[in-house]
Amino acid sequence: SDTSVRPWDVGTHASRTTFVAGNAARLAAEKVRAQLLAIAEGQLGEPAAALDVKGGWVVVKRDPRRRLPYEAVARAGHFRDGGRVLVAEAFYDP
């Protein structure tokens, strides 16, 4: 701004919060997705690379009729020996 007619200020700066936090959330979600597919591969008898997630289901890519709801996959992972909940954290540094 023109300091001869306006008082000095620190300026206008873009908010990085949504960009940084949003990307960290995306990275964490990708980790949870990988955990979900790792559990589902045992249930569906297919490698994780052959699976996808769509509309609340883990599906076999070549035969989407073969599918399991997220809840069933997460529950199976939690209640098996050495089971755990699906959780992830991520850090994003542009």
- Is pTM beyond 0.75? Reply is yes
pLDDT at 30 over 70: yes
When divided into structural domains, the chain yields a total of 1
- Structural domain including 46 reads 17-79
- Per-residue pLDDT band at 78 (split at 50, 70, 90): very high
1 located within any domain: no
Per-residue pLDDT of 42-59, as tens digits, reads 999 999 999 999 999 999
21 located within any domain: yes
84 located within any domain: no
Q: What is the pLDDT of residue 83?
A: 85
Concatenating the DSSP letter of every residue in 6-75 gives S----------HHHHHHHHHHHHHHHHHHHHHHHHHHHHTS-GGGEEEETTEEEETTEEEEEEEHHHHHH
